[in-house]
Structure 1
Amino acid sequence: MAELSWAQPLRETVRDLDRTTTEQHETTKEEQTVTEELSSAENTWNQAKKDYEHLSKQIKKFDDKNEQAQKLSVIITKVRDIENIRQELKQLEPQLATAKTKVLDQNATMTEVKTNISTKQQLLKEFSGLDKQKDQLNSEKENLIDTLTPLENQCNLIVSENQKLQERLKKLTTEAENKAQKLEDAKKDYQAKIKTRQALMIAQLRQELTSGEACPVCGSTDHPYADEHITTDETNLRQAMDEVDDSQKQYAAADNAVKEINQTLDELSKEFSQKQQESVSALRNLSSKYNELLTQVTVDLPAEFDLAKIKVVFQIKIDEINQKLQRAQKLTDEITVLEQQQQTAQSELTTATSKLERLTVQQQTRKNDLKVKLQTLDDSDLSSEELIQQQTKLKQAYTKFQTNLKNAQDSLNTNEKAYSNAQIHLNDIKDRLNKQNKTIQELSDKLNQALNDSSAKTNDLKVLDQLINELDQNRLSELQNIIISYNKEKELLTDNITKLQKSVEGLTKPNTEDLKKALDEVQVQRNTAITASANAKTDFTNTQKSFDKVQSIMKKQGEFAKELAAITSLYNVVNGKDGNDSKLKLETYVVQNYLQNILSYANDTFLNRLSHNRYSFVISEKAADKQRDHGLDINVYDRETNAIRSSDTLSGGETFIAALSIALSLSEVVQSSANGVQIDALFVDEGFGSLDDETLDEAMNALEDIGKNRMVGVISHIESMKQSIGQQLLVKKLGDGKSKIELINK
């Protein structure tokens, strides 16, 4: 028991020692693992540094490739221009040959077309006057139908009414016969019923006669037939009298019915006779009017009136004229097509001649351009595709190198951070292992001291472990030891509390939670500072390398100064700034040249003609509204005042002919230019009302010239224009927002 009591205080020390020893073993294993990870991270970091240093040595090489690729862009542009010029020259050769051939072909075509037109015009004269004949026939037909149709309808109506009256008479006659028969039957029945009643009355009288007495009827006392008895009674007599009354009523009703229907038959007979007279009169009137109209028509009609046959006769004549008109229209259409072919041939001849001259000038210009372009190249053997392939390879190599360099830089930074973090982790493990070793040493010293004490029950640690096991197995002893230990600890704690209370009198109690939080914050700041230090070191290295690269680039800037100055000068010229006397942008300059061609064509072809040689277009040298961009404003030169003035000063009619001249010239110039758009139709909406008669005639002549090789549509309400335009679409208003379109050919 004494040994167990002695071992009781040492049990916790032994347990702490065992626990700490176990933690030490685990920490040692963790140290080995982290040490291996640190070694691996260090090797990876060193390899990343080697890769980055290897790539850094190639920076100048790939910068040279990038610079070479940029220079190739300028060369490629020049080579493409040369290739385009050569392609254009190659395309111009067959175009020139085609233009020369087309001039000869058009002359032959025009001669053939003129011959065909003359032949068909002679044939067309045979069909003159057909429209008037058709109109006259339609007029005669409409007059005859409009006049005779009401008369025919009247006759048909009267005939229909006569038929209805005749059917009604027939029906009433049959009904009258039936009613007469019924009257006869009623009369016979009535007579029979009277005889029956008389017989019954006589029989009753006979029954009442008495031999020797006077008869109440004749007063005779002799009754020779008194023995002829017919049996009767009051009921039979009453029934016979009622039957007589009923029969009499039926007879009277039948008689009235016969009289009424006979009266109705008389009235219908009179009406039927009157309708027959009206029918005869209507037929005479129709026949008379028809004979009168026969003398007014130009076709042979039936002698007797038959509207259906009359319509057929007229339609046959009209169809004959329509067939002739169709043949005439076909000839007219063929002549129109031939005239259009003639106009087209003439226009194509003019166009071909103009195109030949233009192609010749264009060919010479492109040859001069090719000569100038070739002088700017040292080596013109390589094609643009080959140069593009070289440039693509250089750009791909440079891009791939930049990607690899960035990946190497990122890998270096990542591995350096991993190595630093592993180093910090290993230091933390070593600190924890040192603390565990110190704790083990303190516990071991305390245990050895207890074992070596003079009051110790044993000096052997194994014996002490056995005693502790016995304490663990013996619950009562354990409780006793706990009580004893508790009492001792209580005394010690009481003494310590007393001492501590004395030592802390007047002191403020510290807040352990705040201290713990402060410790955690300091630990976090420490870890953050270590990470920031590693990042700062990496950033410094990268910045130093970038600084060295910038210094190298700045040394090379002088080589590009001349090229930059040339490009800047070209940019200023293109944008209308320094080095450009006219201060025009490139696109404005190009458009101005096209505009000058349009205005020159308008002056020569339309404006001089429409203005009676008074006005000419000129391009203004100053902006009309003081805007910075200029060069496209249009003025007019007035020959009467010998001065140039703004187009805004023109009158309404003058403004219209100016706008019309530009629009017509634009269509011609665009169509005749290289690869020009084919303009098949042109529409002019209103504006002609502001022109005088002479100018209007000139404008119409100009439109007719334009219309030789395309369709020209004019929208106008001027009567004189309606008379001069051959093909028209006439819009007629019908009211209620509706209208009708008619095609007119003159």
Structure 2
Amino acid sequence: MKPTKLIISAFGPYAGKMPEINFDEFDEKGLFLITGNTGAGKTMIFDAICYALFGKTSMSHRDEKYLRSEYASESAESLVEFHFTHQGRAYTVKRWPSYTRKKQRGEGFVTESEKATLQEDGQTPLEGLTDVNNRIRELLNIDVNQFKQIAMIAQGEFFDLLNAKTDKRTEILRTIFQTSGYQRMEGILKGKMDANKDKADSIAQSIAQYFNDVSVAADDPEFEALEDLKQKTGNKDMVWNIQSLIDMIDKAIASETSRKDVISADLKKAEAELNKNKEKLAQAQTNNDFITRLEALLNEKIELSKRASQMTETEALLIRQKTASREVNPIYVSWSKKSSEVASTEKLIASKTSDKETAKKQVDLLSEQLKAAESRSDEAAELNKKILKITEDEKQYEKKEQCEKALASLEAESKKIAEQENALKEKETALKSRSEELKKTIASLEGKPLEKENAANFGKHCSQLSSDVKAILDVQVKERSKRASDLKAKQDAYIAAGIEYNSEKIKLDHAETILECCRAGILAKDLMDGQKCPVCGSEHHPELAVLPDESITEEDLKVYKERESASHTRKSDASKDAEVAQKLLDEYESYMAKASRDCLEHELLHVSTDDKELDELLEDLKSADATLTAKIQENIVLQNSLQKECELLAAAKTESETTTEGLNSIAAEKEELTKKKNANDSAIVANQTTLKELASLSYADKKTAEQEKAAAQKVYKEITDLIKNSNEAKNKADQALTAVSGELKVLGETLESQKKDEKDLLDSMNKKIAELKFASCEEMLALVADEETLSQTEKEINEFKQAQATNKKQLAQAEQDAKGRTLVDVKELQALCANQEAAVTELRKAENVLLNRIATNEEKKRNIDSQRNDFDSSCHEFAICERLYRLVRGTSTSGKITLEQYIQGAGFDGIIAAANRRLLPMSDQQFELRRKTDSIGHRSSTFLDLEVIDHYTGKARPVGNLSGGESFKASLSLALGLSDTVSMNLGGVQMDALFVDEGFGTLDQKSLESTLDVLTTLSSANKLVGVISHRQELIAGIPQQIQVEKTPTGSTFKVDSGL
């Protein structure tokens, strides 16, 4: 991905539409600078790119809901439009942030929702947040967090990038090297392994449960073997041998079947004997039942004969009761009822006669009351006129009341306005006085921020220089001493090797001399004068060689030569080691001297280093260290003081703005108060005029008029209600008198008819009593019974007659059945049958127990056998998946590196190699990154952790121990190496832009120059590099710039292409 154009409008600190940034203009040199004061909005340019692509900013604390510029006008459109190319195609993405604005019509606010569009060359524009976000993610193959780490070394985040742990780097490298498939493969294998293991365990548990339900009798020969196998199957790892379980169940079934067959044969024999004896018992019981039945029927006949006379009397009484109850009593009941009616009517006539006299008296009384009420009609008419008048004047009273209230309110408002005018005058005087004080304070502190920035820069330079000095004194001096000791040891070793060599050389020379003497003595031993010498050819031998006292053989000489050669080699090696140590010491002392001179000649120290040796330089450095420490402490005190003064300045500016706003507000309030006072005075005059016009009303106010009206209405209502109620009461009394007179006439006629009916019923009843031969009415009433009693008596008589007939018939049959029979004793036979029944029941229970157990065991066998294939298949699949998972997971051996991490590690080595191509020149060949070698194959959690090799000391150390400037160089190099590797993976993420945000403040001049050389080289390779900084060296050294300026109305920027 390579930026081509960026347009920002009403976004972040930028109030309106900014000039477009055409990144193509930076292509020639590639390197450009984004510069401006702190807080001006330099990083917001990268944030705009980040927001356009992902809807997020690079800063986690920035809420996307508040990205609209606070300086923007109501009509300004908040928008980020970003043009970029990716893999040869051009794209344009536009994104509008969410914000709240005033409604164009009416009052209140409305929220504009976030929107986004994506235009691809030759394609239909894509709209909607979700679709655009998904497409961007699909194009770039990274999310916003990975984009920030690849495309930008953000302010404060370069240290985190360098020190990121394995798990964080794994996420970035997964996209770069497209290793997510290996991670998914691991998850799929883990899921299949766990699923098959769970399935196998579940089946094993089920099989174990089924087998645990298999049973045999405790005395069965297979009982102990079965229980022992059950104990083993309690461990699910033993269930795999399913065939042994089935074989055990087969043995149990066979054993139980054999026992069942024996019991079944015994049961069949016992049932036959029981049935034979039951038949004999039944015949004996039938014989005894015939005899017992005959005796019972004879006893029943005797009892029936005893009740016969009683039942005859009961039947005669029943006939007289029916006659009295059904023929005479109904007439008696009617006569009694009619007699009661006559008495009731006579009583009612007496009561109504009394009511008539009372009603007549009430009519006379109410007539007098009506006459008195009607005499007040004229008074009611006068009251009605008064009520109508007051009602007619109600609106006038209301108007008068409103004017009085309004006048009181307006007069109170006039007083309040006067008080507000006085308060505003006092407040205005106080604010003007405070404003003058603040202007003086601001004028006196205006230069403090610059002084603070200069002090901070001075402090950084002092701290960096002090760090460099301490590095020489604390680290390099120790390393020099170590190298000097190493040189001394190697020089001593050389001297010792030389002494050893000289000794061996002397011994060799001596041995060669002895050997030559031995050779000459041997030749001269038999040499005579006149014989030629085999050595010199002389025939005269004045001094013949003699054999020496010592003797040396050729083998001895060979040993001396080997010793001399070995010592010579050791001497030569020691000489080389000493030379190397001397050279390393000289080079290191030269490096230390150069570093010491650089520190001492620094503008902060200005110590002369001419013709000074290293030790003298080191002494000067010790003094310089103390000087720098004092300067740093002084600078800290100065910065703290300036910080307080800057805070005071900021507070004064803020208060000054607030004071100015307060004065403007007071002026507006005074103008508004004047308008309000004029309007209030006009309203007072108008209300006073209206009150004069309403002074002729009958009453002082509406409340008094309403009270008079209410009193009149009350009296008027009392008079009219009295007339109305008196008239209604007299009418009701007249109606009541008429009604009671009519009722008395009707009751007299009714009484005469009732008395005639009473006499007729009495005559009819006496006639019936005489006809049916009852002695008197009392005798008849004594025989009266209800129908239920009559029916019950008649039922008892019929049941008795039926019992006599039935007994006679059954007795004849029983005499015939019992003829010739005698009683038989059945107790012994019953006892025998009961014992045999119990034995049969026990045998049947035993048989059922065995049958049920056999059926259960067979069912459990079928259940176990039905799961055999699934269990074997699950175990087989689990074994395969487990082996594959352990291989991919990296746990199949002693190592713990996953397949994905192994592949990422190989790719990460390429990133580190690319990073070191930048880091080595930036650090003067001192530092080189590498992965921690002690963790390979042992811990996946540190597989991608970094450490740094310090070539000055020859040792490795953690990247976290680097200084601020060293960390910046290392993190920049790592980011560049990461970007290079990403760009080479065309199928993955392609990134042709890099932004570096601050961090340069920790670099000295030389480090800054080398870093710029690397960035310039990088930018010449078709890659845009944007540096975000306000350092003067960068402003002077990078001609292509985006210059950001902060103003009271929002930030602005201009683009300088450097032409």
TM range (shorter): 0.3 to 0.5
Structure number having the greater helix percentage: 1
TM-score, length-scaled by structure 1: 0.33
Higher relative contact order (CA 8 A, sep 6+): 2
TM-score, length-scaled by structure 2: 0.25
